[in-house]
């Protein structure tokens, strides 16, 4: 499978995603520069963590105007798998591909630590290989990861089974402990924790592999 890893000038987890996919998952990963209007022949897209264009304004607010995001939007509309990690999640909500917003952590400080996540749904191409209720340990590293949306949107996300992961011990104040969500079509996922940082024993956890393996399984079926 070919994974396109989008590179904004301020992406800094791009190489980590590339490494996780090509070395620890054994799939093909290719970098796609932010001013590219094509994703090549990618089977799936990863929007990696980092600070896209510096994010001095609002995380992801400028990235949504980049040429590559037009291509990503098109790719998503055609049913392609898009995974936004951390800054990638922030970009997805700014772009409108996912609802809600990611605001400053409740404690106002940047937090880097491994956290436990509970798998809420396996009805998604990102979690099909997991089990409902399964706990994954993945690192977080963000200053603006508090998921926020109005009550109606939150109810809708839950009613439509679109909350994928919740924090076991909410680190950042996210409403309803939300760590990751899907779009209505279930082919776009945004996730604040970093699965690519948990893909080999030396990283301290291999729980992130289950997400990438689910994607590979979903693509194989396609």
Chain positions contacting other proteins, by CB under 8 A: 9-10, 12-13, 15-16, 19-20, 49-51, 53-56, 109-113, 139, 141, 143, 194, 196-197, 199, 201-203
Nearer to other proteins by Cβ, of 9 and 175: the residue is 9
Gap between the Cα atoms of 138 and 204, Å rounded: 9
**CB of residue 35 vs other proteins: minimum separation in angstroms?**
9
Q: Out of 13, 59, 86, 146, which one is annotated catalytic?
A: 86
Closest CA to 102 of 207, 173, 182: 173
- Catalytic-role residue among 59, 144, 146, 194: 194
CB of 138 to other proteins, least distance (A): 11
Q: Is 146 considered catalytic here?
A: no
Query: Is the Cβ of residue 141 or residue 219 nearer to other proteins in the bound state?
Result: 141
- Kindly state the tokens that stand for 218: 């979903």
Least distance in angstroms from the C-beta of 151 to other proteins:
31
Catalytic site includes residue 213: no
Based on the residue annotation, tell me whether 59 is a catalytic residue of this protein.
no
**Annotated catalytic residue: which of 59, 94, 144, 196?**
196
Nearest Cα residue to 211 out of 119, 99, 109, 133: 119
Q: Say what the alpha-carbon torsion angle 179, 171, 207, 101 is, to the nearest 10 degrees.
A: 20
Judge contact between 157 and 181, C-beta under 8 A: yes
List active site positions. 86, 194, 196
């Amino acid at each position: 499978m070919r994974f396109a890893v989008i590179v904004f000038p301020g992406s800094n987890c791009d190489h980590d995603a590339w490494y996780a996919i090509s070395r620890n998952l054994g799939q093909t990963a290719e970098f796609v520069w932010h001013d590219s209007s094509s994703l090549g022949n990618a089977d799936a897209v990863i929007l990696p963590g980092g600070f896209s264009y510096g994010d001095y304004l609002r995380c992801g607010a400028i990235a949504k105007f980049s040429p590559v995001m037009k291509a990503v939007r098109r790719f998503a509309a055609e049913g392609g798998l898009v995974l936004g990690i951390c800054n990638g999640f922030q970009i997805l909500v700014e772009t409108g591909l996912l609802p809600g917003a990611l605001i400053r952590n409740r404690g106002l400080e940047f937090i880097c630590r491994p956290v436990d996540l509970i798998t809420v749904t396996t009805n998604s191409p990102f979690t099909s290989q997991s089990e409902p209720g399964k706990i994954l340990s993945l690192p977080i590293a963000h200053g603006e990861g508090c998921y926020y949306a109005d009550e109606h949107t939150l109810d809708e996300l839950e009613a439509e089974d679109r909350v994928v992961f919740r924090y076991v011990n909410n680190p950042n104040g996210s409403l309803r402990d939300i760590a990751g969500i899907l779009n209505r079509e279930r082919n776009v996922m945004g996730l604040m924790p970093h699965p690519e940082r948990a893909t080999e024993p030396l990283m301290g956890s291999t729980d992130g592999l289950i997400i990438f393996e689910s994607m590979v399984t979903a693509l194989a079926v396609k």
